[in-house]
Structure formats: structure tokens, C-alpha cells
Amino acid sequence: MGLTVADHDDLLGQALSLVHKEPRNPKQASLRRAVSTAYYALFHFLISEAVANWNRVNLRAALGRAFDHTIMKAASNRLQDSRQFPFTGEDPRVVAALKAVAKTFAQLQEKRHTTDYDNTTFWTRTEALTQVKSAEQAFSTWKPIRNEQIAQVYLVSLVVKKRD
């Protein structure tokens, strides 16, 4: 069926809970899961924002399955390149906010790969909490710009593979 709107908020809450699960000596598994869960919270948040534009509500979950981690990261990285996205005439505050969300997505995906695949990396609670808070900040940064044209273009770029 897919995630509901509340699920990405639940994932973010779960990530925060995992960071604080063991008050004294946090387990690496908890900290790793917290970072990974924070990434998935932002991943599903952006997908839900994109598919909300689809007016056939019963097909939104199916559309959400079309999103790919690699394409989303590439789109988020491209957005940082002023040659590809010059944003001429756009409100600099909106551009900065959009770039911040996109940068957070790409960085969190890299951190998620580290937590899931690099067992030699030791995580501190502070480092994990920083990642969780970055996802939380991306949610907050996105909300006031969600209806801006450039934000909507970004959402489309998250699902469309760039053609050369």
C-alpha cells in the first residue's frame, strides 16, 4: 500500500527515539538505525510531497514506487550546480532553502550507506543526532517553499532520470 503522510513523521520520531534509546552507552546498532531511519524519513517525505500532486489518490502509492534512490540523489546533487540550475530571477531565500533540502537529502543518503555498509565507522550519539536533526530541519525548510515552482520542478526531477 505504501507509506501514508504520517509515516514519514513516524520514521523521524523513531530515528530520534533510537538516538536516545540507551541513555548511557548507546549501541552502535541503535545509532546506525537512527541515521538510516532519518534518511528514510526524508526519502519518504519527498516522495509523499511529489505524489500529492497526482490527483488520482488511489494511484499515489503505485507512483511512489517509481522513485529510485540513485536518481533522487543525482537530482539533488545537480540542483547544487548553478550551470544546470541557474535559478535566474528566483527569490534567493527560496533557492537557498531548496538547495539546503536537496543537499541534506544527498548527504543523508551517503550517511545511510555508511551506517548500513561500513561497520568500521564508529558513531557517537552526537554524530547520529546531528544527522537526525538534519532530516528534521529539511522537513521544516521544505514546508514554506513546497508550492514554489522551483520546488515542484525539483520534485519532478526526483523521479525522472536525466537524459544526456
Q: Dump pLDDT digits (tens) for 67-112.
A: 999 999 999 999 999 888 889 999 999 999 999 999 999 999 999 9
Element (H, E) at 41: helix 28-51
Query: What was the pLDDT predicted at 164?
Result: 67
Q: Dump pLDDT digits (tens) for 136-150.
A: 999 999 999 999 999
Query: What was the pLDDT predicted at 1?
Result: 41
Tell me the C-alpha distance between 102 and 8, whole Å: 17
pTM of the model: 0.94
- What are the DSSP calls for 8-30, one per residue? HHHHHHHHHHHHTSSSSS--HHH
Query: What was the pLDDT predicted at 6?
Result: 60
48 Cβ contact list (under 8 Å, min separation 6): 3, 5, 8, 64
